[in-house]
Amino acid sequence: MKYESQGIAKMYFIAAIGLFVGQILFGVTLGLQYVMGDFLFPAIPFNVARMVHTNLLIVWLLFGFMGSAYYLVPEESERELYAPWLAKLMFWVFLAAGVLTILGYLLVPYATLAEMTMNHLLPTMGREFLEQPTITKIGIVIVVLAFLFNIGMTILTGKKTVITLVLITGLIGLAVFFLFAFYVPDNLVLDKYFWWFVVHLWVEGVWELIMASLLAYVLIKVTGVDREVIEKWLYIIIAMALISGLLGTGHHFFWIGTPDYWQWVGSIFSALEPIPFFMMTLFAFNVVNKRRRDHPNKAAVLWALGTAVMAFLGAGVWGFLHTLAPVNYYTHGTQITAAHGHMAFYGAYVMVVLTMISYSMPIMRGQKAANERAQVLEMWSFWLMTVSMVFITLFLTGAGVLQVYLQRYSETPLPFMVVQDKIEIFYWLREVAGLVFLIGLLLYVYSFFAKGKEVEDIGAAVTS
Amino acid sequence: MRETFTKGMARNIYYGGAVFFFLVLIGLTVDTVKSIPKTDNRENLSEQVVAGKYLWEVNDCIGCHTLLGEGAYFAPELGNVYTRFGKSTDAIKGFIKSRPKTGIPGRRSMPQFNFTDEELEQIAQFLKYVDGIKIARDWPPNVQG
Ligand code: HEM
Ligand code: HEM
Ligand SMILES: [Fe+2]
């Protein structure tokens, strides 16, 4: 670690991993509720468990992004963080807001939570992924603004690199588009239209900038490849991300009461969206093949390559699968959507954060890389989690294909609940895969505590 | 990548592409907002419907159901439930009202929300309004949603 203030990332990463465990515990709960409908009913109904699962995901990814930025920006800018105290303070504010919100979901009925938090003054609750009480949303805005100020001042007063510029652009975009979470018109069509300005323009827009810059940073560090090469890739990847992703938003405007031309615009541009993800895969493998050194942190290299591959599969391939309007007509809002949502979020954003953690955590703990045994365990957890996510996706795709056929395509369409019974076996299989995922995650957590032979510092000659 | 393709060119494509397509997105958004009065059923957006939408939100119905295909996939699509229930708001109200408090053994079940009669009417009117939104190709493909 070159700058002391980079170490602030550690607390962010620990919180991220802790909340990740919570997310997955609720994931397997949801999976069980799919097949045992009365599980935990009425104490924790499905919708409550679901918002805990998805909101924990978003919150821990934000912890991960912030931690990554706090680690990366001082080093790239070649100076200490502008205000380390502010970063520490905001950590506790964000953690408190997150934990209180989750407790709120679990301890009181959602409608009561809405009343307690005076939702009627500025109603923003009750939309998918944006279920947080308005006061929590305001808290998120404050934390993110303080974070952007801190990171921004560090960059402005330090050395500017392409990586930090792309990262801060993505982070500013994240903040700006989140503001649409406060716009909840009575008109449902408008409501839905602008809801996607948060959800789609995050994951298929500005978050791709964040992802690409984090990946580029780790790749520079572990391969020693020339910055010029990496920066060129970075620009072209994010160019393609925005060129395809901005109008690609149209793939959500097929069936919500918006004009028909969106079927063309949305289909064409979103069909291009796999390109930046494919380029990230090419980029990662290319750079690793051209590496100038073998970094002792093998686990980090594995995560980096894994991110590139899984993001392409989840977002690129599974996204393309249902993005053309004539296909989406049948698959819209089915288990196909859930299959894609899982692999895309895991492959792109979960994995890129775990890549950053894998690379930086040993350094923050005073080593160049974790000991051999810890790395082996971490790589086992990589495979357990990644392979079980592939299976979760395949089982949900199986469920989705049958659901589409039985409920929407066949001559005699069956009611939703009847179809759910018929495809139950896939939900059982998904639950098994989910439990393996949980085991992989617990192994991941354990790997941080595993003792073993310290790795020889092969890369020590080239310090960077 | 080729030497002839420089970093500067890549950067220009990024800035140019991002700005251009962002402007196009804004343009299409303006056009969409202008054209949706033809489809969005705003003439039926009564006070009752607005209250119903609020109830829909503060009870997180979207956490189990889809509405026009968006939401959770645990329970049936409700964008066309008014049609599915024989164009009867009474049937919708009856269903919501009759959910057992402690669920149905072994099966998925909807919570009992203890709505007042007025609230039930508001929710039913909201669902009727949603059913009246004109969707391209009359999505969903059939009444099962
Ligand atoms: C890492 C990037 C991505 C993530 C995290 C992601 C995640 C998601 C999620 C969670 C949903 C469900 C939203 C909801 O609840 O309604 C969704 C929907 C969708 N995504 Fe993605 N996605 C990504 C990239 C892509 C790409 C590149 C494509 C196209 C090539 C795509 C195509 C779609 C489509 C068409 C839907 C709508 C499904 C429906 O009609 O039900 N996604 N995505
Ligand atoms: C890192 C791993 C995971 C990520 C990133 C993740 C992400 C998500 C996302 C984004 C959604 C919303 C889906 C959508 O709207 O399309 C969701 C819902 C869900 N997740 Fe996960 N999840 C993960 C792991 C799991 C596991 C291990 C299980 C259980 C076996 C699980 C079970 C579920 C269920 C049942 C839903 C609800 C789907 C519905 O609405 O019907 N998830 N998850
Ligand atoms: Fe999208």
A410-422 pLDDT tens trace: 999 999 999 999 9
Phi-psi region at A109: left, alpha or beta (left = phi > 0; alpha = psi -120 to 50): beta
Residue A379: pLDDT above 50? yes
In angstroms, what separates the C-alpha of B81 from chain A's closest C-alpha? 12
Residue B1: pLDDT above 70? no
B window 9-48, beta carbon within 8 A of A: 10-11, 13-14, 17-18, 21-22, 24-25, 28-29, 31-33, 35-36, 39-42, 45
What is the per-residue pLDDT for A456?
Answer: 72
Are A33 and A46 within 8 A, CB to CB?
Answer: yes
Choose, out of A106, A118, A256, the residue to mutate when testing the contact with B (most B CBs < 10 Å).
A256
Residue A269: pLDDT above 80? yes
Q: For chain B, give the mean pLDDT.
A: 97
Choose, out of A26, A33, A36, A41, the residue to mutate when testing the contact with B (most B CBs < 10 Å).
A41
The CA distance from A80 to A71, in Å, is 10
pLDDT in tens, B48-83: 999 999 999 999 999 999 999 999 999 999 999 999
Are A101 and A28 within 8 A, CB to CB?
Answer: no
Choose, out of B7, B114, B123, B131, the residue to mutate when testing the contact with A (most A CBs < 10 Å).
B7
Distance A341 CA to ligand 1 centre (A): 6
What's the DSSP call for residue B67? E
Pocket of ligand 1 (CB under 6 A): A 128, 203-204, 251-252, 270, 273-274, 311, 315-316, 319-320, 322-323, 328, 332-333, 337, 340-341, 344-345, 348; B 69-70
> Span A350-358, mean pLDDT?
98
Q: Is A333–B21 a contact, with Cβ atoms under 8 angstroms apart? A: no
- Cα of B33 vs its chain's centroid, Å: 17
pLDDT in tens, A68-119: 999 999 999 999 999 999 999 999 999 999 999 999 999 999 999 999 999 9
In angstroms, what separates the C-alpha of A4 from chain B's closest C-alpha? 32
Residue A330: pLDDT above 80? yes
Nearest ligand atom owner, CA of A335: 2
Residue from A23, A211, A342, A428 whose mutation best tests the ligand 2 pocket (most atoms within 8 A of CB): A342
Are A39 and A33 within 8 A, CB to CB?
Answer: yes
In angstroms, what separates the C-alpha of A338 from chain B's closest C-alpha? 8
Q: Is A414 on the interface with B (CB under 8 A)?
A: yes
Residue from A337, A342, A345, A353 whose mutation best tests the ligand 1 pocket (most atoms within 8 A of CB): A337
Amino acid at A225: V
C-alpha dihedral sign at B34, B38, B41, B47: positive
Query: Nearest CB to B21: which of A46, A184, A242?
Result: A242
Q: What's the pTM?
A: 0.97
For atom 20 of ligand 1, which residue has the closest CA? Answer: A319
Q: Do you know the residue count of chain B?
A: 145
What is the per-residue pLDDT for B2?
Answer: 55
For atom 15 of ligand 1, which residue has the closest CA? Answer: B71
B73 Cα nearest atom in ligand 2: 41
Please report, for residues A229, A288, A306, the alpha-carbon distance to residue A281 in angstroms, rounded to integers and kept in the order given: 15, 11, 9
For atom 9 of ligand 1, which residue has the closest CA? Answer: A341
- Cα of A113 vs its chain's centroid, Å: 27
**ipTM score over 0.95, yes or no:** yes
B window 40-99, beta carbon within 8 A of A: 40-42, 45, 49-50, 53-54, 56-64, 66-77
SS3 B71: strand
Q: For chain A, give the mean pLDDT.
A: 97
Distance A339 CA to ligand 1 centre (A): 10
pLDDT in tens, A427-464: 999 999 999 999 999 999 999 999 999 987 544 444 44
Phi, psi of A41 (to 5 degrees): -85, 140
Residue A225: pLDDT above 50? yes
Rg value, chain A, Cα: 22
Phi-psi region at A178: left, alpha or beta (left = phi > 0; alpha = psi -120 to 50): alpha
Residue bearing tokens 């009246």? B132
What is the per-residue pLDDT for B4?
Answer: 85
Distance A36 CA to ligand 2 centre (A): 17
For atom 28 of ligand 1, which residue has the closest CA? Answer: A319
C-alpha dihedral sign at A331, A334, A336, A341: positive
What is the per-residue pLDDT for A101?
Answer: 98
> Span B15-26, mean pLDDT?
98
Are A421 and A256 within 8 A, CB to CB?
Answer: no
What's the DSSP call for residue B39? T
Distance A223 CA to ligand 1 centre (A): 32
Q: Which of B69, B84, B71, B85 is nearest to B137 (CA)?
A: B69
